[in-house]
Amino acid sequence: MNRRPPRRILYPRYEARRSGRLRVSDIHEIYWEESGNPNGVPVIALHGGPGGGSSPEMRRFFDPERYRVFLFDQRGCGRSTPHSELRENTTWDLVDDMEALRDHVGVNQWLVFGGSWGSTLSLAYGVTHPDRTLGLVLRGIFLVSKPEVQWFYQSGASRLFPDSYDRYIAPIPEDERDDLLMAFHRRLTGDDRQSRIEAARAWSRWEGETLSIKGPLTTPPRFNEDDFVDAFARIECHYFVNRGFFASDNWLLEQCAKKLKDIPGVIVHGRYDVVTPLSTAWALSKAWPKAELHIVPDAGHSSMEPGIVDKLIQATDHFAGVYGSKVRA
């Protein structure tokens, strides 16, 4: 009788070996850290949001004996400063920050790992710097297109989470609900502090309650913390109003087809991902033949769902085997 092998689980917790701060503009200073083996395969792991900040759990997708792991908090969030700042905060600023960090730590090439918005930024970096990209491991593909934003932030996902959706739209008067993105943007960038934090809580909890296939009961605690939600909601809304700072809805997909044709990748996506529906990952896999798509049948959007963890760690273990004896920082 054939048995499916047990699913992989996260590597045990381990601490960063060193950390620092890097000034990347007159305004912004980013926090970064390094962990794992200093002679391992370099990898940069990109958090979601934008505005989500990195977490120690992100290290656990990588074997600390075989990887040299870099995390950083993107502009305006986490331990980077100034907090919740929108000025000089675009996709292309973040791509430049990744290059500044790569140069700062003395890495020639690295694997790029990211989920949700982290997948967007990973792809933007990959098409801009393919010569610096060993490969891409991506989860929950999101390209910041108008249909994707409309699906989640206007009304599409409400059909699956009507209870959470009612809580999401509560701060917005009925006469403004025909364009929720702009209604939230006005409040999140306005001068009324109380209105801003109420909008931030509603925006962030909507995402927090829909991350997992299990629904609102598994909302991560930080989605209820005012300091976190302020940066998360403001920066996300800023990026989405500006369509990710891409030239068009299809620009990133078109660039992937041109620039990633020789770069290997793994795409992991939950079948029941409500935040970033599977159709986007499917389109990316067709445009990028060197990417291997894994559809997890019992998962939503969260990186912590067992099937997602299993496929991501299979991917990082695979790349460690491929590059472990070849790559030197």
Q: Where residue 316 sits, what CATH number does that domain have?
A: 3.40.50.1820
- Other beta carbons within 10 Å of 43: 26
Out of 28, 47, 294, 301, pick the active-site residue: 301
Task: Assess whether 273 carries a catalytic annotation.
Answer: yes
Residues 107, 184 within the same domain: no
**pLDDT reported for residue 4:** 79
DSSP string, 230-295: HHHHHHHHHHHHTGGG-SSTTHHHHHHHHHSTTS-EEEEEETT-SSS-HHHHHHHHHH-TTEEEEE
11 domain residue, yes or no: no
Mean pLDDT by 10-residue block, N- to C-terminus, for the chain (329 residues)?
A: 83 98 98 98 98 98 98 98 98 98 98 98 98 98 98 96 98 98 98 97 98 93 95 98 97 98 97 98 97 98 98 98 71
What pLDDT is attached to residue 153? 98
Q: Do 154 and 141 have their domain in common?
A: no
Residue 301: active-site member: yes
**Catalytic residue selected from 73, 97, 230, 273:** 273
Residues 122 and 74 in one domain: yes
User: What domain count does the chain have?
Assistant: 2
For residue 7, tell me if it sits in a domain.
no
The predicted structure's pLDDT at residue 43: 98
Residue 75 located in a structural domain: yes
Query: Of the residues 202, 224, 244, which one is the last residue of a structural domain?
Result: 244
Whether residues 100 and 52 share a domain: the answer is yes
pLDDT score of 5: 85
Name the domain boundary from 187, 215, 244: 244
- pLDDT score of 133: 98
Q: Domain range for residue 24?
A: 16-145+245-323
Report pLDDT for 328.
Answer: 47
**Cα distance between residue 240 and residue 319, in whole Å:** 32
Residue 122 falls in the annotated catalytic set: no
Instruction: Identify the active-site residue in 54, 116, 204, 303.
Output: 116
